[in-house]
Amino acid sequence: MTLRRCFLLPAAILIVAAFAGCDTLMTSTPTAGDDFASPVDGLDPDLNLVFLQGDENFAKAFSVAEGLGPIFNNISCEGCHPGDGRGTPETGFFRFSKDGDLLIDSGGPQHQDRVIAGARLIPENVPEGADRSFRIPPPVFGSGLIEAIPVATILALTDPEDADGDGISGRANWVTAAPWVPARHVGGGGGAQLGRFSRKAQVSSLLQQVTEAYNQDMGITSEFLPLENFHVQRSLTVAVGDIAPDPEISAATVLQTTMYVRLLAAPHRGKITAAVSRGDEVFAGIGCADCHVPTLTTGIHDLAQLSEQPVPLYSDLLLHDMGEELADHRPDGDATGSEWRTAPLWGLRLVARFLGGREFYLHDGRATTLHDAILAHGGEARRARDAYVALDTATRMDLHAFLKSL
């Protein structure tokens, strides 16, 4: 299901009405921390207003008249991220390239599978011979906390040569930020930047992540990316675009949406039962926590709500070789075809609630149970996977109970 919440300023409910901020009026508020669309605690009225407007931007479904397309994957941010959580195989898409070439002249690096009506186009094809990687959209909650973790904190966890001999050699993905991301944004400016967002940590800044999502996922141009994402494969003698003048949204709209994502809180932990406590010990004991690091801490931040905060994301945000079964054989930045950023585990307990009772795990959603997701781990995670396989049924259930409490 998709859940949108109303966040009321202390002054009056009329402020929310002015924003038309809820898709559905709720008769009761969900239990605090049981959703993916709540803001971090302690927003002042000004930040709350920005959050509300960004929430509207995130939920907005674009029409052709407003600039949708000409090629796209979905009509809104929320269409790919229901309730601000993870997507499904139905909302997934391919990224493709060849030997590191993003194949821009052939429609890369992202495959758009939909086109606007009346454009005399057919959906894009992934070019024959391209390296293709299918991915489901990751959750967006907690992104501001991830952004606020100091580079030094993440780099302290790297061990690219496996100096300690534990078989785990996490490393950073150093990338080049888009030229329009200023240095005042985390991950922006010239030179190599630490990638921390997306499946292979190939994006260094939230602003770039949001701007490119508008452009690639919905075909919406902005003052940051003002050119249409034309269908270069199937256009006739001229490029076919939509009818809206470019740029279709302002820089202010992109920045509001970026701030909304930045201010999204992570869901709370579930109940800590005896089984959950036992499973926590198993998680650490078999080596899962070596990559899925339970908690990192943010640095000093301009926003007090993000400053020096614990971040229980269960990830080191580093690249790890996950073996042949999970390999997509498509490099991305410094990441090889078998490396992936350690997926944060927070929010696992709410996955099925926000996906209509279904569960999808791993970068491509192939696993529909935690058991299957764990069994697919290889490479640097093989030792932990084999230890899991050796557990008796009761101990496995304790581990699952722990994971479903996150």
Going along the chain from its start, the domains and CATH numbers come out as: 13-137+206-262 (no CATH), 274-403 (1.10.760.10)
- At residue 105, the pLDDT reads 83
Task: Give the confidence band of 19 by pLDDT, cuts at 50, 70, 90.
Answer: very low
Please give the pLDDT value at position 124.
85
| pLDDT (0 to 100) of residue 120 | 61
Residue 403 CA, chain-centre distance (Å), reads: 19
Q: What sections of 137-250 are H helices per DSSP?
A: 143-147, 151-155, 206-212, 218
For 122, the token pair is 């057919």
Evaluate whether 72 touches 114 at the Cβ level (below 8 Å). Answer: yes
Residue 400 and residue 275: Cα distance in Å, rounded?
A: 9
Residues 30, 35, 39, 41, CA torsion sign: positive
> Helices in 98-142 by DSSP H: which ranges?
none
Residue tagged 């089984």 (tokens): 275
pLDDT grade for 122, boundaries at 50, 70 and 90: confident
Using the predicted structure, report yes or no on whether residue 176 has a pLDDT greater than 90: yes
**pLDDT per residue over 312-347, tens digit each?**
999 999 999 999 999 999 998 889 999 999 999 999
CA separation for the pair 243, 234 (Å, rounded): 18
Q: Is the pLDDT of residue 96 over 50?
A: yes
Q: Is the pLDDT confidence value at 10 over 60? A: no
- C-beta neighbour count of 186 within 10 angstroms: 25
Phi, psi of 98 (to 5 degrees): -150, 115
Summary mean pLDDT of the chain: 89
What is the mean predicted confidence (pLDDT) over 193-197? 97
- The set of residues, in sequence order, having a beta carbon less than 8 Å from that of 40 and lying 6+ positions away, is 144, 145, 263, 264, 265, 305, 306
Across 388-393, average pLDDT:
98
β-strand partners of 249: 222
Element (H, E) at 95: strand 93-97
DSSP β-ladder status, 174-176 and 131-135: unpaired
Please check the confidence at residue 171 and state whether its pLDDT lies above 80: yes
Within 8 A by CB and 6+ apart from 27, the residues are: none
What mean pLDDT do residues 129-137 have? 94
Confidence of residue 121 (pLDDT cuts 50, 70, 90): low
- Residues in CB range of 137: below 8 A, 6 or more apart: 80, 81, 86, 87, 91, 92
Backbone phi, psi, residue 132, to 5°: -120, 145
Is the model more confident about 98 or about 18? 98
How many angstroms separate the CA atoms of 318 and 196, rounded? 8
Q: Is the pLDDT confidence value at 253 over 60?
A: yes
Tokens for 158, please give them: 């790297």
Query: What percentage of the chain has pLDDT greater than the value 70?
Result: 89
404 Cβ contact partners less than 8 Å away, ≥ 6 residues apart: 270, 348, 349, 370
Instruction: Look at residue 3 in the predicted model and tell me its pLDDT.
Output: 40
State the first-to-last Cα distance of the chain, in angstroms, to the nearest integer: 19
pLDDT at 20 exceeding the cut of 60: no
CB atoms within 10 A of CB 99: 9
Model confidence at 21: pLDDT above 60: no
Q: Model confidence at 104, in pLDDT bands (50, 70, 90)?
A: confident
**pLDDT of amino acid 230:** 78
Average pLDDT score over residue span 292-308: 97
